[in-house]
Chains A and B, each alone.
Chain A
Amino acid sequence: EPEVTQTPSHQVTQMGQEVILRCVPISNHLYFYWYRQILGQKVEFLVSFYNNEISEKSEIFDDQFSVERPDGSNFTLKIRSTKLEDSAMYFCASTQGGIGTQYFGPGTRLLVL
């Protein structure tokens, strides 16, 4: 069964460093999403992406964040200058159509020290 994959599974970084989280969505899916879950809190929507542009973003997704689909298979989330409060589990998801079941990856646990 096709699945969404994410790398790395864990990442530790120093405050102020840039990180790139990678996702490979299901191959025939066209809509892509990032969510995050701070420990003990809700899973929160960050951004949706379609046709090489952002469809919607939350207030969390400020100028420090960016997304890209660089090569037709990967979907990346970049945090330009990490803060302590960016420590969270980051989930990627994809859907085939604009309104459809979202399939999630296993997540990347980011720890900012």
Chain B
Amino acid sequence: GNSVTQMEGPVTLSEEAFLTINCTYTATGYPSLFWYVQYPGEGLQLLLKATKADDKGSNKGFEATYRKETTSFHLEKGSVQVSDSAVYFCALRITQGGSEKLVFGKGTKLTVNP
């Protein structure tokens, strides 16, 4: 089946620390991969995406590379800020017969302390 496994949280870091949130997936075919972020009190926002193997998605200093050989899409940021505190969701997109849906991981809560 199709599934996403995400690093369990919560993750607490100091400002300017390096962030990695691991994400691996199981899928039939070649899904597109996404990271969504949910800031407190807000909805899910697309952070970055990659649609094929070896693609790197990037946004706001965050990066993730689609690794087909390890079925992974780990999220990284070199220097986190307090404003990055949020819940991060890894997801894959399944497309069948013209319709699509997202399969999400459990989410990882990140807290960045000053």
Give the interface residue-count category, chain B: 20 to 34
Q: How many residues of A contact B (CB 8 A)?
A: 27
Closest-by-CB residue of A relative to B106 is A42
Determine whether the beta carbon of A106 is less than 8 Å from that of B42: yes
Minimum Cβ distance to chain B for residue A52 (Å): 14
Q: Is A91 an interface residue (CB 8 A)?
A: yes
Contact B102–A102 (Cβ < 8 Å): yes
Which residues does B use to contact A, with CB under 8 Å? 4, 36, 41-46, 49, 89, 91, 93, 95-96, 98-107
Q: A95-B100, A105-B43 are in contact. List 20 more A-B contacts (CB 8 A).
A: A4-B43, A6-B43, A31-B99, A40-B106, A41-B106, A42-B107, A43-B102, A45-B102, A48-B101, A55-B98, A55-B99, A56-B99, A98-B98, A99-B93, A99-B100, A103-B46, A104-B45, A106-B41, A106-B42, A107-B43
Interface residues of A (CB under 8 A from B): 4, 6, 31, 33, 35, 40-45, 48, 50, 55-56, 91, 93, 95, 98-99, 101-107
